[in-house]
Amino acid sequence: MHAAARPATAGPSDVALTGAPTGLAALAARADHVIGTAVEWVAAAIVLVEIAILAAGVTARYLFHTPLVWSDELASILFLWLSMLGAVVALRRGEHMRMTGLVSRVSPGARAFLEALALTASIVFLLLIFHHALDYAQEEGFIVTPALEISNAWRAAAIPTGIALMLAAALARFVRLHARGPAFAAILVAAGLVALFWWAGPMLKPLGKLNLVIFFVGVVATNVFAGVPIAFSFALATFGYLALTTSTPLLVMVGRLDEGMSHLILLAVPLFVFLGLLIEMTGMAAAMIRFLASLLGHVRGGLSYVLIGAMYLVSGISGSKIADMAAIAPVLFPEMKARGAKPGDLVALLSATGAQTETIPPSIVLITIGSVTGVSIAALFTGGMLPAVVLGLALCAVVWRRYRHEDLSHVVRVPAPEILKLALVALPAIALPFVIRAAVVEGVATATEVSTIGIAYSVVMGLVVYRRFDWRRIGPMLIETASLTGAIIFIVGCATAMAWGLTQSGFSQDLGRIMAALPGGAWGFLAVSIVAFVILGSVLEGIPAIVLFGPLLFPIARQVGVHEVHYAMVVILAMGIGLFAPPFGVGYYGACAISKVNPDEGLRHIGGYMLALILGLLVVAAVPWLSTGFLKF
């Protein structure tokens, strides 16, 4: 995610909330605290239960050769509940992904208005969709699940329940807004826009495909740049398009939300997020970094090379860029600053390595691509290793140029026995990425289940080898996992509904014809895709962009002769560059927040790294073997 960084993608700022609420605000705060705490712990418990179910499934099938026929079904039911409750937690904590490039640059008064408008827009969608979600859950009550033989309403009820709880959380936040004038203005603007679109409905229907521009470009772009969370921006545009320009029952939109959030392979998202938090807590990441620093610390720019290498290794464990950067920056940055490195250059390199490592398994984006396009997860895991090496070498070239005159006269070289000792300590941590990949490729576990192997491995290493396991942190880590899962999976659901709307309009066929007719054949298609996904990555982030456009473009890639794994690597790296490139890339601001560096300091240094990433991406695009060469092994 990879999710982008939380500080850059948060919901309406807590600064806008009253510090000591009174009256109605106090009542809302108390109710929100009670309900919110209950939701957090239920969601955390579901994460634990999901880990146990998948671990039991792997054990029963691989060790005892007696598969649990009900495990996947129960895991799927609980996953929808986890996604919806996690979305509630994310809304309460202001962690739904959003673009704040414009919001953070306007005057305080305008910012208060935009923050209130973002919250109001979310409330509007939740109010509009709630009764359709209830109808959908009732309709699902007639379906009986095949393994557990229970009503599917037990699963579908997660959607209206989650929507109702999100609505309560959003209203509680709105009541607690300190700036009453901007809040009232936001209500008037939102009500006026809803009334205007409703009134214009009869005039919109005859416009045909021009409505795609109005809703999926105009409405989405306006909402995204105004700071409305991306998921709600997609959802509002899709709801408006279906309600005002088609005769499609809005029950269908809820069904598409359900479909998008119900891919069992996406269950890997929370488990890998939790695994990332676990390796940081157990000290496994720190052990790897200390070993790499002992090897290269005496070389000019050595700690920068360590940063690049550590991000490569840690990405292979956690699957979450937030976890990667949070595990590495606090360990390396103090010593790098002591050696004279500029904070702006450090955050620029950290951001660039975030983009570089997007294809390293078990990347959440790889898992998402596999779920929405049908490409083999094992093939994607195999194909993602070398492209990241190419971009890493390009970054190393920039580091060599910038640090070739670094003064290391005060640096003491670590003796060989100490390096060997650190290597032995780091060996269990370094082995984990290879354990994960081998388990998938050898068929021990699926991409969804393999995270449980990593979790069990990390728990054992933390308790037995590293003797560092803080049980008090497990609860907060599980809640953090649920929140990030809700933010990610709710986007996937809303983007799936939007992609369905685009497909039903005939847009996918039109796009296919245009892209297939591009001059230059496969090379022209790749070039246009690179530019498009760099832009999409900076505005929409990787996961919503790939969910929205992956099902449309991957068939075209096959049609023009581009291998699907090669195409996946190209578009993921392009999205990563957009995600971590300022001024719009929210991943860049996440790196700044984790590094505690002002974003303006990094802007002077990041150009060279981004140029290196682009050159590396062009090499990957031009040499398909880098992505597909090891698929036959």
The secondary structure of 132-170, three-state, reads HHHHHHHHHCCCECCCCCCECHHHHCHHHHHHHHHHHHH
In this prediction, residue 2 carries a pLDDT of: 42
Q: Are 507 and 197 in contact (CB under 8 A)?
A: no
State the first-to-last Cα distance of the chain, in angstroms, to the nearest integer: 28
Average pLDDT of the chain is 85
Q: Please check the confidence at residue 633 and state whether its pLDDT lies above 60.
A: no
Q: Are 204 and 211 in contact (CB under 8 A)?
A: yes
CA distance 93 to 166: 11
In this prediction, residue 5 carries a pLDDT of: 38
Segment 108-127 mean pLDDT? 93
Segment 63-81 mean pLDDT? 88
Among 78, 123, 101, which residue's Cα sits nearest to residue 485? 78
In this prediction, residue 252 carries a pLDDT of: 92
Q: Which residue has the higher pLDDT, 223 or 535?
A: 223
Q: Which residue has the higher pLDDT, 4 or 182?
A: 182
What is the amino acid identity at position 412? V
Helix axis angle for 268-282 and 364-373, nearest 10°, is 170
In this prediction, residue 18 carries a pLDDT of: 47
Q: What share of the chain in percent tops pLDDT 90? A: 33
Q: How confident is the model at residue 11 (pLDDT cuts 50, 70, 90)?
A: very low
CA distance 369 to 294: 37
In this prediction, residue 195 carries a pLDDT of: 95
Q: Which residue has the higher pLDDT, 314 or 188?
A: 188
Q: Please check the confidence at residue 556 and state whether its pLDDT lies above 70.
A: yes
CA distance 588 to 591: 5
CA distance 536 to 542: 8
List, for residues 574-593, the tens digit of each pLDDT value.
988 988 887 667 678 767 76
List, for residues 330-358, the tens digit of each pLDDT value.
777 777 777 777 888 888 898 899 888 88
The single residue listed with the structure tokens 């003797």 is: 467
Q: Are 584 and 105 in contact (CB under 8 A)?
A: no
Can you give the pTM of this predicted structure? 0.79
**Most confident region among 31-35, 190-194, 363-367 by mean pLDDT:** 190-194
In this prediction, residue 122 carries a pLDDT of: 95
Run of H or E residues at 269: helix 268-282
Segment 231-260 mean pLDDT? 92
Q: Please check the confidence at residue 4 and state whether its pLDDT lies above 60.
A: no
Segment 76-93 mean pLDDT? 94
In this prediction, residue 131 carries a pLDDT of: 94
Query: CA distances (Å), 353 to each of 315, 384, 535, 614, in order?
Result: 10, 15, 19, 13
In this prediction, residue 319 carries a pLDDT of: 55
Q: Are 373 and 564 in contact (CB under 8 A)?
A: yes
Q: Please check the confidence at residue 14 and state whether its pLDDT lies above 70.
A: no
Q: Please check the confidence at residue 445 and state whether its pLDDT lies above 80.
A: no
Segment 613-624 mean pLDDT? 95
Other beta carbons within 10 angstroms of residue 55's beta carbon come to 19
Task: Annotate 516-531 with three-state secondary structure.
Answer: HCCCCHHHHHHHHHHH
**Which residues is 151 bridged to in the sheet?**
144
Helix axis angle for 364-373 and 564-580, nearest 10°, is 130
Query: CA distances (Å), 281 to each of 86, 306, 462, 468, 477, in order?
Result: 22, 20, 8, 8, 10
Q: Please check the confidence at residue 317 and state whether its pLDDT lies above 70.
A: no
Q: How confident is the model at residue 318 (pLDDT cuts 50, 70, 90)?
A: low
Segment 440-459 mean pLDDT? 79
Q: Please check the confidence at residue 182 and state whether its pLDDT lies above 80.
A: yes
CA distance 113 to 131: 29
Other beta carbons within 10 angstroms of residue 570's beta carbon come to 26
CA distance 120 to 183: 8
Q: What share of the chain in percent tops pLDDT 70? A: 92
Q: How confident is the model at residue 269 (pLDDT cuts 50, 70, 90)?
A: confident
Question: What tokens does 443 get?
Answer: 């068929």
